[in-house]
Amino acid sequence: MPARLLKNPYRGVNAHLHSMAQNPVRSPTIWTSIHASHINHITDTLNRQLPPNYIARTEQSLQIWSEDLGIGTMERQIRRPDTGIFRSGISGSGPNPVLEVEADSAVRVISIKHLLEDEDMFTPSVVVYRPEENEYMGDPITRIELLSPSNKKRGPDYQAYASNRLMALRSGTSLIELDYLHQTPSPLPEIPAYPDETASHAYSLAVTDRRVGQNPEVNTIVYLLDVDMILPTEVILPLADQDSILFDFEAVYQYTFEVGRWGIHIDYEELPKNFTSYSSSPGRIREVMERAKSETTQG
């Protein structure tokens, strides 16, 4: 008898669902819907939390979307929206929390200063403009990107994403990159490929603060995450000037999972698709499966 739950039995990313998204049996994949709904939920949550002089909108992504039958087999390319934060002329500001990185925490600091200084590293494919003050949306401040397989390393659109990413960072736009897909290597430098390399992790969340004077070393803060691990609940999202807010990515992910009824597609009696790709986390996945089956029986 199938074991199904509408509530996510995993803390953080649901390994069963994301394995299904990365190993489709037909096109379009369910990742198209997961991506769109999660980005919209992030946008809605931001608009409930942002100071009154900011607004979040779902906008054109830095990524090029390759809808495919499998990772690396491109059929068509579509631009997909992710989330952007803008500032209007209305007065008001938010709190300015400070990130404290502990020595034993699963957080990595990556310097990107050399990328910003190397003008020949990539050929820009997109020009990023800063709207004038009299335009409706105001100035673009921060971007949140939910990475898709084709835009990560080894993907057909990786170079295009890397170029667009670099242009956005050089323009002064802060960038948050959510990587919830364990089968493809991170597009960020110095992040070991999961699960083959030592000290690698299944998922990551990266924050690059490009506010003038706020990140003098030009570093990217990367939260490294494993299977059945809570997503960061107090991420400092940089806004403009001295402004920033704390954002709970775990709460938004769990909301997306439940309201989208993604659990209907999952049978916890069965291992995730391509289970061997989780070679460093099989014990955790089996524990979650037992947990889910127990909850199903009790229900």
Q: What radius of gyration do the chain's Cα atoms show? A: 19
Range of the domain at 173: 15-298
- In terms of phi and psi (left: phi > 0; alpha: psi -120 to 50; beta: otherwise), the region of 25 is alpha
Determine whether 140 is exposed, middle or buried from the number of CB atoms within 10 Å of its CB (0-12, 13-18, 19+).
buried
Sheet (strand 139-146) strand order: 54-68, 74-87, 139-146, 174-179, 203-208, 219-225, 107-111
Of 102 and 240, the one with more pLDDT: 240
> Mean pLDDT score of the chain, rounded to an integer?
79
What is the reported pLDDT for 97?
61
What is the reported pLDDT for 29?
76
- Predicted model pTM: 0.81
Asked if residue 1 is part of any domain, the answer here is no
Considering its fold, how many domains does the chain have in total?
Answer: 1
Mean pLDDT calculated for residue range 82-90? 60
Asked if residue 36 is part of any domain, the answer here is yes
Of 175 and 62, the one with more pLDDT: 175
Asked if residue 8 is part of any domain, the answer here is no
What is the reported pLDDT for 132?
46
Of 83 and 59, the one with more pLDDT: 59
User: Which H or E run contains 288?
Assistant: helix 282-298
Q: Which amino acid is at 199?
A: A
Mean pLDDT calculated for residue range 55-80? 56
Asked if residue 35 is part of any domain, the answer here is yes
Asked if residue 2 is part of any domain, the answer here is no
Digit-coded pLDDT (tens) for 176-231: 999 999 999 998 888 999 988 888 999 999 999 988 777 667 788 999 999 999 99
